[in-house]
Amino acid sequence: MSTITNIVYLLSAVLFIIGLKNLGSPKTARRGNLLAMIAMLLAVVVTLLNKQILDFTYIIVGLIVGSAIGAIGARKVQMTDMPQLVAIFNGLGGGASALVASAEYFQLSGGSTIIVLTTIALSVLIGTVTLSGSCVAFAKLQGIMRGAPITYGAQNFVNGLIITAIIFLGITFVMNPSLWIILMVIIGLAAILGVLSVIPIGGADMPVVISLLNSYSGLAAAATGFVISNNVLIISGALVGASGLILTKIMCVAMNRSIGNVLFAAVGSDGGTASGSGEQKIVTRYTAEDAVMMLDNAQSVIIIPGYGLAVAQAQHILQEMAEILMARGIKVKYAIHPVAGRMPGHMNVLLAEANVSYDLLFEMEVINDDFQNTDVVMVIGANDVINPAARYKKDSALYGMPILSADQARTVMIVKRSLSVGFAGEDNPLFYDDKTMMLFGDAKKMVTEIVQVLKA
Ligand code: NAP
């Protein structure tokens, strides 16, 4: 039985890796998800059979309750709330690893090796930090807690002190495994550390933190895999740990920030509030009719989607508008910024939902040189990713972030509800540029009006 189990584990591991590879492109992402799900199912079924668990009652009850919560949660959650859902999933994953490792500790019959005890301590530590940190990330994103960084003097010193205490207690625990109380103190300190590490991080950086916590949950699972000698848990945990780290790095590079800056610099605001520069600037309000006049005369149009597109759920009507323009011989492309929206790949998922052809989607590096030869750039619910202040305003949270060069196009149309700032809290000078047409309104409503005028 053990050989069959290991072969199935190996098959699962291979499927996980192929699944991850497939997730790298929007074209193959669905297949990647499916392969990873099959791998997980295989791993779970073969583990249950191998361990010859005599009483499946709790497992079946757990499966029914868990599946029901998961299915209802996944169906109900809005696309824009997806980061919160991921945060909670990460947290629960970390918590589960910590619980399994703790349960294993209480089953130990003495004579455990240093390696087993060390991995128990590590699993409990990382799992608990992930759980409490993810709860704070969830609360910040859900608006239960203030999104702005919460800071106090000697913050890093206090965190350092807690880490030192945990290391000391961890060594003491490994040397004296019968002292279970030490493990409990480690759990308590780890929970505090998770909270204290996430509260100073601003709401705008939360997706990066979630990706990092995702990586931690993988590491906790891998450590638990060592505790219970389960190969597939070690492999899948390591894969989650590594891919979470890679994603964190990709996001940091896209925002031109170091991970240290994200974690310790307390950058960011609650998001969505006015920048309060106090300066009076003038913008002209344009209508759907004005927009259509411009579009009808254009030969090339680049659409830049952003977070507001997701809020308004305007992807389907936007796709309809693009189809009409293309049918009239206008060249239409979509420019995708790596951190547009609120999670990596957010815009790709949104546009895929509306069946926008992948061939029309272009990454920032590929399309940035095209803007100067483009007649109309249509910005739908995006703000930070086109904010030219990122190039020169040194005291801005956006400074240094590569942006889409929308300002280089001949005409810029911006569809949003007001002049309010984006997630990074920075005023956008492009709104006040002479070549910019501000189309104020909800993205879905405004694009629907444009489509009606186009069809009239
Ligand atoms: P953004 O800067 O947050 O701006 C979105 C704009 O959408 C807002 O200014 C808002 O303006 C508008 N909006 C909201 N609801 C709307 C609606 N119903 N109809 C029309 N417009 C609406 O978004 P972004 O340009 O996509 O930039 C993403 C930000 O998130 C960046 O700062 C990025 O660094 C950060 N971030 C993203 C990720 C990621 O993985 N994607 C990770 C980390 C950080 P109004 O209120 O005036 O309508």
pLDDT along the chain (456 residues), means of 10: 87 96 87 95 89 77 91 84 87 95 86 88 96 94 84 88 96 92 96 94 81 94 92 94 92 83 68 51 89 95 96 96 96 95 87 92 95 97 95 86 95 96 91 95 97 94
Q: How far is the CA of 31 from the centre of ligand 1 (A)?
A: 29
Residue 343 alpha carbon, nearest atom of ligand 1 = 40
Q: What angle do CA 87, 93, 95 make, to 5 degrees?
A: 100
SS3 305: strand
Nearest to 170 by CA among 191, 156, 187: 187
Ligand 1 centre and the CA of 271: distance in Å?
A: 9
Q: What is the 45 CA–ligand 1 centroid distance (Å)?
A: 42
Q: Which of 267, 384, 440 to mutate to test the pocket of ligand 1 (most atoms within 8 A of CB)?
A: 384
**Ligand 1 centroid vs 307 CA: distance in angstroms?**
4
Distance from C-alpha of 73 to C-alpha of 413, rounded to nearest angstrom: 37
Is the separation of the CB atoms in 216 and 94 below 8 Å?
yes
CA angle in degrees (0–180, nearest 5) for 298-299-305? 75
What token pair was written down for 192? 């505090």
Strands (E), 263-359: 300-305, 331-336
**Distance (Å) from CA 285 to ligand 1 centroid:** 20
Q: Determine whether the shortest distance from the Cβ of 382 to ligand 1 is under 6 A.
A: yes
Is the CB of 427 within 6 Å of ligand 1?
A: no
Half-sphere exposure of 254 (CA within 13 A, CB side): 24
Spatial distance between the Cα atoms of 391 and 386, rounded to a whole number of angstroms: 10
pLDDT at 273: 44
Residues 6+ apart with CB under 8 A from 229: none
Q: Give the atom of ligand 1 at the shortest distance from the alpha carbon of 341.
A: 26
CA angle 206, 211, 216 (to 5 degrees): 120
Ligand 1 site, residue 423, Cβ cutoff 6 A? yes
Whole-structure pTM value: 0.80
Ligand 1 atom having least distance to the Cα of 422: 2
Q: In what order do the strands lie in the sheet with 331-336?
A: 361-363, 331-336, 300-305, 376-380, 411-416, 436-440
424 Cβ closer than 6 Å to some ligand 1 atom: yes
Pocket of ligand 1 contains residue 314 by CB under 6 Å:
no
CB distance 437 to ligand 1 below 6 Å: no
Element (H, E) at 363: strand 361-363
Q: Is the distance from the beta carbon of residue 422 to the nearest atom of ligand 1 less than 6 Å?
A: yes
Rounded alpha-carbon distances, angstroms, from residue 189 to 175, 193, 338, 442: 19, 6, 36, 46
What's the CA angle centered on 154, arms 150 and 157, to 5 degrees? Answer: 115
Predicted pLDDT at 27: 82
Q: Is the dihedral of CA 324, 325, 330, 335 positive or negative?
A: negative
Q: Is 424 helix (H, G, I), strand (E, B) or coil?
A: coil
As a whole number of angstroms, the distance between CA 124 and CA 109 comes to 19
Contact 94 CB / ligand 1 (< 6 Å)? no
Residue 340 Cα to ligand 1 midpoint, Å, equals 7
Q: What is the pLDDT of residue 423?
A: 85
The set of catalytic residues is: 384
- What single-letter amino acid sits at 181? I
